[in-house]
Chain A
Amino acid sequence: MIERVISIPERVTVRGKRVDDLLPWLLSLPFALLFLLFLGLPLYRLFELSFQSETFLGHYVNIFAVGRYRNALFMSFAISILVTGVSIVLGLFMAYFIARREFVGKRLVVAIISFPISFPGVLVAWAMIVVLGRTGVLPQFLAFLSGESASTFAIVFSFWGLVAGYTYFTLPRVTMSMVSSIEKVDQSVEEAARSLGATRLQTFRYVTLPVIAPAIASAVTLAFSVCMAAFGTALLIASGVVDILPLMIFNVIMGQQDYAAGAAMAVVLTIITVSVIYGYRRKFGGSVYA
């Protein structure tokens, strides 16, 4: 009888685990460490700091108990919701136009619309000041027409100035993120609806909207979280005029050196933006930025 010996090659193992299986983990280790160092640690410290108060959750309670703080939180919400709404409505019209119409210079228009996406917040604020500031083009012109003082029309250092600045910031992002989704809508399906007696509005409501809803939700999430956290623009045009949460955090930390209170606010801000993004992912899946 011939005994066949099938030899199984010895695997290289570390404590009983094959090296082949460990390799991906080993390779990701440096990134994991970086991740921990620059995301995990700061978040942990922020969290830890925010609890350092005389009473339990004192700084958190204060956010809702102290008028100024509560107001800042409310203001941030108000501006973010308003700007998101305005951006989505205007952005939908613009995205529709870009997706559906062929016209001379379309590429140029798309380039111009996309251009401000790369602007830093400070530049957006500067643009607002140049156009809507006290010596800005628009107030000067309106003052010339009406004979009143230019500062009557200089809305830049106000709630509405901030809304304008943020819209300037979010509108191109929101528009461009919805264009490709509208381009993908099968127009024969819309025509089918029209032929069946649906008006343009009904066609949009029942046929187009369900198809582009994920893209709109993504745009809403993007706009809202950007507005909630935006700081540079606000620092230049709203500092001392409109208190919003990021400015309040800045003031509390830099002005009052109250790191713990600032940390609590930062945690609240982070929770808000993260839950909005998480909510989107739960409902529609995928990344907001895709």
Chain B
Amino acid sequence: MTEVTLDGITKRFGTETAIEDISLTVREGEVLSIVGPSGCGKSTTLRTIAGFEEPTEGRIHFDDRDVTDVRAEERNVGLVFQNYALFKNMTVLENVTFGPRMQGVPKEERRAKAMELLELVGIDDLADRDPSSLSGGQQQRVGLVRALAIEPEILLLDEPMTGLDAKLKKRLRREIGKLLTDIGVTTLYVTHDQTQAMAMADRVAVLNDGHIEQIGTPETVYEQPANQFVANFIGTSNLLPATANGSTVDLGFTTIEAGGLSPTNGEVTVVTRPDDFTLNGGPIEASVLDTFYIGGTVQMVVELPDENQISLNVSPKEVDVSDLEPGDRINLSLDASNVHVVN
């Protein structure tokens, strides 16, 4: 297994800076996910590791080996594409054996290995089919197995599940997740979908505008976002302006204990999640703007006394949606134990 290190990678296209000073380590056997909005530089980062973009500055290491100047075909990097990028002029088996064939692995050996891998993802019966006759989910399994067939130093997945339907996405996510854990290959998973990222990854790197906002476990980036961007991008957040003053944080309509959270005094932003509010006749008065019953949960948008709008989730068991009309007054309480303060 390989540890992959990016050290101060910057890539400029002309005057445009795609990524700036990216430093991160994908640990041995770890699944690291890079998330961010489109155009944040995720793909450029991935292409730089794969060897298709030459960094303007910085070095890339696979363990102790500096691969910055190594050609793409000599890096031994497994790539899985959003559009599958299968070889249409070859069968499924030929797709999977292509890498080992280029590496000079004998025919029998590479075939046996490919069949083994296809069996692992449950499509060994499709070995002789044309890729174009396969469903999207099957094609992506072929793409994954093809990349794994070269026993790559690192597996790079570029939005591999975009374009698949929601149910299939969930199933594939579980399957791929298990496969990656079983094989234990170092993996970088690029996606704009934070749910995918959180579900698949050991750690998540949030990328924005070409630089890293935060790297941490899914729990860390969700519960302790480093800044407003991360708070907003990962999950749903209610960002509320407040004044920190020693041990308390004044939200205007209510005051909460800061605990050890507040890093400074003065103007801060309080990050609350939709689940932090309870509809239990607490001290915070709000008015209902909208309710959405989505089965299992009722999502509400309410307006606070300071005219800030927040989202909250309540259980349909707690509240009967049909009773609530826009404009109704409700009383909330805020559970401060999960609240996080950013500057």
Instruction: Find the B residue at minimum CB distance from A203.
Output: B73
Instruction: Find the B residue at minimum CB distance from A186.
Output: B85
- Are A195 and B72 neighbours in the complex by a CB distance under 8 Å? yes
Asked if A34 is at the interface of the complex by the 8 Å CB criterion, the answer is: no
The A-contacting residues of B in range 69-111, CB under 8 angstroms, are: 72-79, 81, 83, 85-89, 98-99, 102-103
Q: Which residues of B contact A198 (CB under 8 A)?
A: 73, 98, 102
Q: How many interface residues does A have (CB within 8 Å)?
A: 17
> Of A189, A191, A197, which contacts B87 at CB under 8 A?
A189
Q: How many interface residues does B have (CB within 8 Å)?
A: 27
> Of B51, B73, B85, B103, which contacts A188 at CB under 8 A?
B85
Instruction: Find the B residue at minimum CB distance from A207.
Output: B87
Do A191 and B83 contact each other (CB < 8 Å), given the known contacts A197-B99, A202-B102?
A: no
Closest 8 CB pairs of A and B: A196-B99, A197-B102, A210-B89, A188-B85, A195-B79, A192-B85, A194-B72, A189-B85
Asked if A115 is at the interface of the complex by the 8 Å CB criterion, the answer is: no
- Are A191 and B102 neighbours in the complex by a CB distance under 8 Å? no
Q: Which residues of A contact B102 (CB under 8 A)?
A: 193, 196-198, 202
Considering residues A196, A197, A206, A207, which has the most beta carbons from chain B within 10 angstroms of its beta carbon?
Answer: A196
- Are B85 and A206 neighbours in the complex by a CB distance under 8 Å? no
Asked if B147 is at the interface of the complex by the 8 Å CB criterion, the answer is: yes
Q: Which residues of B contact A202 (CB under 8 A)?
A: 102
Interface residues of B, Cβ cutoff 8 Å to A:
50-52, 72-79, 81, 83, 85-89, 98-99, 102-103, 143, 146-147, 149-150
Asked if A199 is at the interface of the complex by the 8 Å CB criterion, the answer is: yes
Q: Which residues of A contact B78 (CB under 8 A)?
A: 195
- Are A192 and B81 neighbours in the complex by a CB distance under 8 Å? yes
Interface residues of A, Cβ cutoff 8 Å to B:
186, 188-189, 191-199, 202, 206-207, 210-211
Cα of A197 to Cα of B150 in the assembled complex, Å: 9
Cα of A206 to Cα of B97 in the assembled complex, Å: 13
Instruction: Find the B residue at minimum CB distance from A189.
Output: B85
Cα of A189 to Cα of B98 in the assembled complex, Å: 12
Q: Which residues of B contact A210 (CB under 8 A)?
A: 89
Q: Which residues of B contact A211 (CB under 8 A)?
A: 88-89
Q: Which residues of A contact B85 (CB under 8 A)?
A: 186, 188-189, 191-192
